[in-house]
Chain A
Amino acid sequence: AQTVTQSQPEMSVQEAETVTLSCTYDTSESNYYLFWYKQPPSRQMILVIRQEAYKQQNATENRFSVNFQKAAKSFSLKISDSQLGDTAMYFCASNAGNNRKLIWGLGTSLAVNP
């Protein structure tokens, strides 16, 4: 069975600093995708970044990048130049195979402080 673990329930960072959120996963599948979703307070869940397991290159989206370590089954999210609008719950999720339902971590609550 797939599992996704986020070991940091809460984190905080100063505005303009860099923060890394951790995620580990377990799957026996060879073809899968990994995602980071962001859910701001009282707002909808949106995709931050995704990584295809067969791609060695780490995905990057503007200030957001991942460190994907396939052998270690680790998928951390780095947020550079943190902004107040980055304050949100961040969920790591894994999807194995052909569009199966996502398996979610419990989330990390990130607070960006001015």
Chain B
Amino acid sequence: DTGVSQNPRHKITKRGQNVTFRCDPISEHNRLYWYRQTLGQGPEFLTYFQNEAQLEKSRLLSDRFSAERPKGSFSTLEIQRTEQGDSAMYLCASSLASGTGTGELFFGEGSRLTVL
């Protein structure tokens, strides 16, 4: 399978706990994006990487959120001291950045977070 892989698919946690999600992009893709999506809404941009560099972070990304892509391959998104408002689907997507690129994103199946 050469698609975008995310795990865990579903995480249930108690408020105040830390959670970490992992995303493995399509291997030749150099860009990796994290989005958050709540029910019935469109994806909200959180952050993106080109290779290992984090190029942009949304203002929505509080200091409880941190993302890394240490070797330019897989990425992790950690949420510290979770709050009930963090309950959402966290989507990862990857793309190939190039001068002729279309910007098409390939999405994983998402990691659903439920904070009790």
Chain A interface (Cβ < 8 Å from any Cβ of B): 33, 35, 43-47, 50, 52, 89, 91, 95, 98-102, 104-107, 109
Instruction: How many A-B residue pairs have C-beta atoms within 8 angstroms? Tell me.
Output: 53
**Number of B interface residues in the complex (CB < 8 A):** 25
Q: Are A107 and B41 in contact (CB under 8 A)?
A: yes
Nearest-Cβ distance from residue B17 to partner chain A, whole angstroms: 25
Q: Is the interface of B mostly helix, strand, loop or mixed?
A: loop
Query: Would you call B43 and A104 a contact (CB within 8 A)?
Result: yes
Contact B42–A106 (Cβ < 8 Å): yes
B103 touches A33 (CB 8 A): yes
- Could you show 22 A-B contacts with beta carbons less than 8 Å apart? A33-B102, A44-B107, A45-B91, A45-B93, A45-B107, A46-B107, A47-B104, A47-B105, A50-B104, A52-B102, A98-B97, A98-B99, A99-B95, A99-B98, A99-B101, A99-B103, A101-B56, A102-B103, A104-B43, A105-B42, A107-B40, A107-B41
